[in-house]
Amino acid sequence: MSLGNFLQRAMSRWMRDGGPQDDIILTSRIRIARNIQDIPFPILQTQGHANQVLDTVRRAIAQPAFTRLGQFEMVRMSDMPLLDRQVLMEKHLISKELVDKPRHGAVVLRDDEVVSIMVNEEDHLRIQVIMPGLRLKEAWQLADQIDDALETEIPYAFHERYGYLTACPTNVGTGIRASVMMHLPALVLSGQINRILTAISQVGLTVRGLYGEGTESAGNLFQVSNQVTLGESEEEIIANLMSVVQQLIDHERQARRMLLSENRDALEDRICRSFGILAYARRMDSKETLERLSDVRLGIDLGIIKGVSAGILKELMIMTQPAFLQKYFNQELSPAERDVRRAALIRERLRMDNTEVR
């Protein structure tokens, strides 16, 4: 299969499409945690409880209130090969917990993969909506519709004082996590990022890496999300995040202008070197790939590199992950073999575009 055809089949909408402010905001995500009344949380489940949750969800997604929101399919994790579960995790559609502990879990996917609902993960339901660019409000509207449609059929665990009850106390209340994935290379290169991230933590937000909690930042990618779910409405949580994100966007744009005006030769040299390595290297590990892709995406956004799709960072940050590589090449690969195949895939992807380096 050609890379072009594989991309068409394998890419989620958030990987393929653009959106507002997408030179800095790669994605907007809303995740809602919900549990079913009178059924133990997944950590205390028996197989019977897990099956009860699965049957309840299967009935709910078959109802007209839900099916009008799109075409969905429910798949049990235990019915999927490990490699396929890993690919879904790399595409940010399921968590590592469902990859490693597939026995009780399932996922409900909309055909465009904008919506995914994890079943029997940390909570009975984790409703997730991912959209490209800065589209938090739109993502929340869709997530709210999904939540309402499920709630017409599923009795949620809810307390009049504390709100929606969840397995982790930090999610009690609204159960909502709103986040954006930001590309902030200029703030990193200018040495401002640590000061800014410290300030963010003081206003009720948290910063994580590419794959969320417990992961480090790579490729100048930072996931910024709310910490507080209790005592504020969903709209207030999103408005607070939007306000801080807009300030981050302004700081990043200012840092880019400063780098261009004060250190243009060094910046262009860095970007062009990274492009040359990606275009000709024969071995690439995951960390270096993200670093070089970050430089190239910055070069695209600043007009230094022309003819390369601006979406290449989103595409290749997923496509070059271990499971995705093995899926594309249709074989199990050792780490050393993945480095060789990763470099080959990047070269092939770059050849698809009509590149011009200024």
Mark the binding-site residues for ATP, compressed into ranges: 27-31, 92, 126, 177-181, 208-213
Binding residue positions: 27-31, 92, 126, 177-181, 208-213
DSSP 65-117: HHHTT--EEEEEGGGS-HHHHHHHHHTTSS-HHHHH--SS-EEEEETTSSEEE
Q: How far apart are CA 237 and CA 257, in angstroms?
A: 31
Q: Which residues pair with 180 in a beta bridge?
A: 28, 224
206 burial via Cβ count (<10 Å: 0-12, 13-18, 19+):
middle
| CB neighbour list of residue 213: distance below 8 Å, 6 or more residues apart | none
Asked if 317 and 293 touch (Cβ cutoff 8 Å), the reply is: yes
Residue with tokens 């982790």: 168
Write the Ramachandran bin of 133: left for phi over 0, alpha for psi from -120 to 50, otherwise beta: left
Q: How far out from the chain centre does Cα 324 lie?
A: 15
